[in-house]
Amino acid sequence: MPNRLQHQTSPYLLQHADNPVDWWPWGQEALDEARRQDKPILLSIGYSACHWCHVMAHESFEDEAIAARMNQLFINIKVDREERPDLDQIYQSAHQMLARRNGGWPLTIFLTPDGVPFFSGTYFPRESRHRLPGFPEVLTRIDEAFRTQRAAIVEQSHGVVAALARHDGGVRAHSADFSPAPLDALRDTLFSTFDRENGGFGGAPKFPHPVDLEFLLRHHAARGDDAARDMVLTTLRHMAEGGIFDHLGGGFARYSVDERWNIPHFEKMLYDNGPLLALYADAWQMTGEPLFARVAEQTAEWVLREMCLEGGGFASSLDADSEGEEGRYYIWDRAEVRALLDEARFSIVARHYGLARRPNFEGEHWHLHVAEPLERIAEDLGIGEAEARALLDEARKTLFDRRALRVPPARDDKLLVSWNALMIKGLARGARVFGRSDWLAAAFAAVDAICDTLWVDGRLLATARAGKAHLNAYLDDHALLISALIELMQTRFRPGDLAFAEDLADALLDDFEDRGRGGFFFTRHDHEALIHRPRSAHDGAMPSGNGVAAQVLGRLGHLTGETRYLDAAERTLQAFVTALHQSPAGHASLALALAERLQPPAVLILRGPEEKAVLWAKQLASLYLPSVIGLVLPEGIQGLPPVLDKPASGEVNAWLCSGVECLRPYATWTALEEELMRIGKPAGEV
């Protein structure tokens, strides 16, 4: 019989609805039942695309005997970490304190009936192996400890709660303490861990860390730091040529298990691909390298082909597994490829994608990555590179069509506001840089879907699926959506997007701000009471909500002239800049906010007949100017803030503003471009 998860909307929870485990969803009813029966809670946190979550489910949660033991000894609660990032943050932090090592998914954590953790782990196998105890053994030990060592567990739980409370603290700084020093320290920290051979930072497993790359690109633009730029471009090139990128269907997997980016953990997450799309657009804008344009285009094509939801918005992820095996959908054997392609195309594919070398995946299989440059292959074959590229593209299409006949990975089709916001921003940036109206249309459709279904009575909800929107939105949802709206306005201005951004910013100030210390809590003031209320500026797989909030409130303040936004951004930096000084790594989003506080962005306003203003906008889009917020405001728009409401003359005019002061209007693109080049030069250059 299905358990209590059968009525949930989360695809991850529904995956477990037929388990023999008597799963509860997180909620007051489950917590009350634990207290009533005086049983410990077994909390299992995961997500639908997670390979090791599937493994543990197949090994243990589908096993009748293990499930019976779980049901006898525990109140068992399943949580989708994507729907409940508040719970995931709390209990991942607790796991690091208890286990003294990093967490991950599945997170397996045992709680007192009051919800306080006392033992934790991640994946446990069914039988003991690789120095991991078997899951049945863990269940027995935890039951015995709970019955015989209750006093010690209660005492330890008090210490965990106290440690969590200290975890998000910090010394509040004065604005006079703001300086470029932590920006330089972060750049030097990244440089010290940079993999000069393969790109990226550190060794295996290797993650993209888009916010670190964005910081380095903007640091280069502000300081003329060529080494910072080269770290980014090297990383993007190696990622584009490695197996972390899907060379047939586009899009990036979550991370690489090796330092060369060749073998990924195959799940594709929306939150990685939005920022990476924006970065590849920036890299092309800066260099004109065709590789960066191809990767941006193929990533956007993947999103529009496979991730769009009916009614607007984007699905969350694609699974790592297919037919019960990780990567099965993506890997090849050489005989299959050879049978699909003629000699000319196979000779290029085999060398370019590594099929001419030894298998690189489990058994006798290959996962495609760039093993040999196309230009060298073309030279050896005595053909032009353009001809070789055409043959390769034809072969890619043939292989893609054949792959499409396989059983595809499952798609998690819930809409998450924060993840959608990252993709909206990436598509908006890419649409502006590459002139792609279809990308922009998809971004607008996503914003409109969020506004129509998840903005309810002036309150933002976090997620929707199957016609049901629910759960309080979090700090990240608000901050990242404001960031996406500001990006959209720079691509095509709609007055409603500015109004929506201001509504979201007001909600941040009213419902999330820590009025005593500055900065923002992760959850609303009226959120359910948990054992801890996170408040952090540390970046994870996604940029920190506090770092992004400080950025976007500053930018929104400059766009609207509203000092309350600027003041809140200032208080957020005061709250967390000490942490940035003490530990620059992991605070890149906050560093970006500090950089814009030290050197505020300029606001560029183009007014005039739309058809003429668009020509100026296209020329503006060819320039990498991260310190300029450019808006095209056609004549006739009503209700603009005074700082944006410049007079219309029937011709295009441009105003460059800093704060409330604007330079004289520019009536020719040549004069404007000269000024933009001047303000876009790194500090210290003439």
Peptide bond into 2 cis (omega under 30): no
Phi then psi for residue 411, to 5 deg, are -110, 130
Q: What is the pLDDT of residues 532-542, one digit of tens each?
A: 999 999 999 99
Q: What is the pLDDT of residues 287-306, one digit of tens each?
A: 999 999 999 999 999 999 99
Give residues with Cβ within 8 angstroms of 9, minimum separation 6.
Answer: 414, 463, 465, 466, 468, 470
Out of 44-48, 74-78, 319-323, 633-637, pick the least confident: 633-637
pLDDT at res. 686: 40
Q: What is the pLDDT of residues 554-606, one digit of tens each?
A: 999 999 999 999 999 999 999 999 999 999 999 999 999 999 999 999 999 99
Give residues with Cβ within 8 angstroms of 437, minimum separation 6.
Answer: 431
Residue-averaged pLDDT of the chain: 96
CA 284 to chain centre: 21
Secondary structure E strands in 466-507 = 468-472
Give residues with Cβ within 8 angstroms of 59, minimum separation 6.
Answer: 125, 126, 135
pLDDT at res. 665: 94
Question: Residue 72: pLDDT band by 50, 70, 90 thresholds?
Answer: very high
Q: Which long-range contacts (CB under 8 A, 24 or more apart) does 239-245 make?
A: 239/199, 239/200, 239/208, 239/276, 240/280, 240/291, 240/292, 240/294, 240/295, 240/370, 241/369, 241/370, 242/369, 242/370, 243/360, 243/367, 243/368, 243/369, 244/208, 245/295
What's the pTM?
Answer: 0.97
Q: What is the pLDDT of residues 188-218, one digit of tens each?
A: 999 999 999 999 999 999 999 999 999 999 9
Alpha carbons 182 and 597: distance in angstroms, whole number:
13
Which residues are 23's β-sheet partners? Answer: 76
The pLDDT of 258-270, averaged and rounded, is: 97
Handedness of CA 559, 586, 120, 108 (dihedral sign): positive
pLDDT at res. 166: 85
Alpha carbons 604 and 559: distance in angstroms, whole number:
10
Percent of the chain with pLDDT over 70: 99
Question: Residue 363: pLDDT band by 50, 70, 90 thresholds?
Answer: confident
Contact 153, 146 (CB under 8 A): yes
Alpha carbons 157 and 179: distance in angstroms, whole number:
40
Q: Quote the tokens at residue 344.
A: 């000319």
Nearest CA to 634 out of 621, 620, 652 is that of: 652
Q: Which long-range contacts (CB under 8 A, 24 or more apart) does 653-660 make?
A: 653/606, 653/607, 653/608, 654/604, 654/605, 654/606, 654/607, 654/616, 655/604, 655/605, 655/607, 656/602, 656/603, 656/604, 657/602, 657/603, 657/604, 657/605, 658/600, 658/602, 658/603, 659/558, 659/600, 660/561
Q: Quote the tokens at residue 686.
A: 């003439």
- Provide the 10 A C-beta neighbour count for residue 641: 12
CATH architecture group of domain 330-405: Orthogonal Bundle (1.10)
Does CATH number 3.40.30.10 belong to domain 4-167?
yes
Question: Residue 169: pLDDT band by 50, 70, 90 thresholds?
Answer: low
pLDDT score of 684 more than 70 = no
The pLDDT of 363-385, averaged and rounded, is: 96
